[in-house]
Amino acid sequence: MSNLVYIGFDSREREAYDVAKFSIERRASKSPMVFPLKLNALQWLLTRPVEMRDGKMWCPISEAPMATEFAISRFCVPLLRSKGWALFVDCDVICLADINELFALADDKYAVMCVQHNYAPKETTKMDGQIQTVYPRKNWASVVLFNCAHPSNKKLTVEVLNTWPGRDLHAFKWLDDSEIGELPKEWNYLDGVYPFPNPDIKLCHLTLGGPWIKGWKGGQMDQMWLMERDEMLKGQDVRS
């Protein structure tokens, strides 16, 4: 069976999603099944309120801004799949290695596995002026392997999904700490946080934003992302 990958989808970042999907598929030794997590397709499951304040999304349950449309939808993954492992990634990533290598790290004793970053952002804004919120285990859930059959993930019910503050979901508060496995940081290498360049990067994460954003200020991984987009567009030109 093919490995299953969900990518966070934001209508403002369609190009980033396309590049992320392309980068995953073109390097995979065995083709994964890749799907976008779109809010309009999850309305039957994700019912928590979202407000607009000053033109930006706001979560009244969390009493905090939502930088992306997939801020919470990533936690639908264990509810969408009842067995096996499934990967969630933010859309602002480039996969530089075979994604099946990441699935090979899955250890059934854990409910989730992720890179366990330990940092506090210095920036007050990110992306297109979104507020840079600070919360425990920041960016742990931006790339996460879900063990969908693990008994403890059954605690992540529809009620929990729709009533808990986002910071508790992002910290995997429904789990015991011993049920959170650690992945090598090369599988969620943060632009602007870790040294660059690094030949060991397997999945780079442009967490502060990138060239797909109008008026983007620039970042150290921009050229890598632009090269990936160019390769994607070349393939589209050949097919057209």
Task: Give per-residue pLDDT as tens, 69-82.
Answer: 999 999 999 999 99
Question: For helices 222-239 and 14-27, what crossing angle results, to 10°?
Answer: 80
Give residue 235's pLDDT.
80
Q: Distance between CA atoms of 153 and 79, rounded to whole angstroms?
A: 9
Task: Tell me the domain boundaries of the chain.
Answer: 4-239
Give residue 123's pLDDT.
54
Give residue 62's pLDDT.
94
| 4-239 placed in CATH 3.90.550 | yes
Q: Which residues of the chain have pLDDT under 50?
A: 124, 126, 128-129, 131
CA 198, 96, 108, 178 dihedral sign is positive
Give residue 74's pLDDT.
97
Give residue 134's pLDDT.
62
The pLDDT tens digits of the residues spanning 128-140 come to: 445 456 667 989 9
Find out whether 160 and 175 touch, Cβ atoms under 8 Å: no
pTM attached to this predicted model: 0.92
Tokens representing 93 are 């990533």
Give residue 126's pLDDT.
46
Q: In 3D, which of 222, 198, 197, 196 has the Cα closest to residue 209?
A: 222
Q: How many contiguous H segments (helices) and E segments (strands) does the chain have?
A: 6, 14
